[in-house]
Structure 1
Amino acid sequence: MSKIYRTIIAVADRFVPGPIRPLWNHPAGPKTIFFWAPAFKWSLVIAGLGDITRPVETISTSQTLSLAVTGMIWSRYSLVIVPKNYSLFAVNIVVVFINCYQLARLYSYQKAV
C-alpha cells in the first residue's frame, strides 16, 4: 500500500504549483495523515451543526459531554506535538464549542423541567 501511495504522491508532485509547494511539502501538509485526519473530522462538526435543530430531549448528555471533553484534549494535544497541527486544533475547538452549546441547551431544558 505504501508503494502505491508513494507513486501517487510522486505523480502529484509534478502538478503542484510553485506558490502551493510550501503547504504541499509541510510536515503537516496533504502528504501526511496530519492533514487528512482533521479534514475528515470536520464531518463531526457538520453532524453537530445538524444536531442544533434537534429537540433537546433527544440529545445524549453522555455523548455530547464526551465529544466536548475529547475535543478539549485533542485541541491541547495538537499544540504540543511536533509539528504543531493548527488544522487539528481548529476542528477540535469547533467541536468543543458546538458540544458546549448543546450542553447549555440540555442544562436549560433540564432546569426548566
Structure 2
Amino acid sequence: MSKVYKAVVTVADRFVPGKLRPLWEHPAGPKTIFFWAPAFKWALVLASLDSFSRPLEVVSTSQSATLAATGLVWTRYCLVITPINYSLAICNFMLGVANSVQTMRAYNFHRKHAIA
C-alpha cells in the first residue's frame, strides 16, 4: 500500500501550486499520516454531533463519556508530539466537547427518569 501511496504523491507533487507548496511539504501535511488521521477522525465528531438528534433514552452515557475523555486526553498529546499536529488537536478537542455535552445531557436525562 505504501508503494501505491508514494506513487500517487509523486504524481500529485507535480500539480501542487506554489502557494500551497508550504502546506504540501509541511511535516504534518498531506504527504503524512499526520494529515490523514484527523481528516478521517472528523467522521467520529460528525457521528457524535448526529447523536444529538437521537432520543436520550438510547444514548449511552458511558460511551459518550469514554469518547469525551479520549478526545480531551489526545488533544493534549497532539500538542506535545513532534511535529505538533494542530489539526488533530482541534479534531480531538471537538470530539471531547461534543461528547462531554452529550454525556451531561444523557446523565441528566437518566437521573431525572430513574425509577426510585
TM-score, normalization by structure 2: 0.92
Partner of 1:76: 76
Which letter does structure 2 place at the counterpart of 1:65?
Answer: A
Deviations 1:34-72 (A, max 9, x none): 000100000011111110011111011111111011101
Could you tell me how far 1:111 is from its partner in structure 2?
Answer: 3.0
TM-score, normalization by structure 1: 0.95
Partner of 2:22: 22
In the TM superposition, structure 1's runs of 4+ consecutive aligned residues that sit over 3 Å from their partners are: none
Partner of 1:10: 10
Matches within 5 A, 1:78-97: 78-97=78-97
Which letter does structure 2 place at the counterpart of 1:37?
Answer: A
- Helix, strand or coil for the counterpart of 2:53? coil
Q: What's the % identity of the aligned pairs?
A: 57
Could you tell me how far 1:107 is from its partner in structure 2?
Answer: 2.3
State the distance in 1 between where 2:106 and 2:55 align.
10
- The runs of 5 or more residues in structure 1 that have no matched partner are none
Which letter does structure 2 place at the counterpart of 1:62?
Answer: S
- Aligned alpha-carbon RMSD (Å): 1.0
Q: How many residues align?
A: 113
Is 1:46–2:46 an aligned residue pair? yes
Could you tell me how far 1:78 is from its partner in structure 2?
Answer: 0.3
